[in-house]
Amino acid sequence: MAIDETPARLRTKPSWLISKVSARAHRLIAEAMADAGGRAYHFAILAALDEFGPGSQAQIGQRCAIDQSDMHTMVSELAEQGHVERLPDPSDRRRNLITLTPGGRRRLDELDTALSAVQAELFHALSAAERDHLTLLLARALD
């Protein structure tokens, strides 16, 4: 869709623009993750484990805004691929701690490279400073 063919009343609404950019971003990310043999949720989970360390499935899901039913599936996939381990929580034997493996750290780097390429493609018309500013503005709006 050419933006200049969109009614001006829509083109001037940030919410409309964000939804269009979001739809394009979701498509590009899904394609990039599929090409890399992964999913966007895989990246989110691995990134959370890398930054915050081991956690319960529920904690990680909350940090990444992933529904618990999806979390179970994603953690199972990552465990089968050797990217995470489920280990008994020493403080509560009824739950598991999800831990990032060395292979998971390498996988995170691979997926991060794929996502960085998507960011470059999606925001190619913006300078680095404009991208940083956009990120700050979107984070403020989200808060």
92 in a structural domain: yes
pTM: 0.87
Q: Which domain holds residue 47?
A: 20-142
CATH number reported for the structural domain that contains residue 53 in this entry: 1.10.10.10
The domain tally of the chain equals 1
Q: Count CA atoms within 13 Å of residue 110 on its CB side.
A: 15
C-beta neighbour count of 53 within 10 angstroms: 10
pLDDT by residue (tens digit) across 76-114? Answer: 999 999 999 999 888 888 888 999 999 999 999 999 999
CA distance 20 to 24: 6
DSSP three-state, residue 38: coil
> Does an H or E element contain 108, and which?
helix 102-122
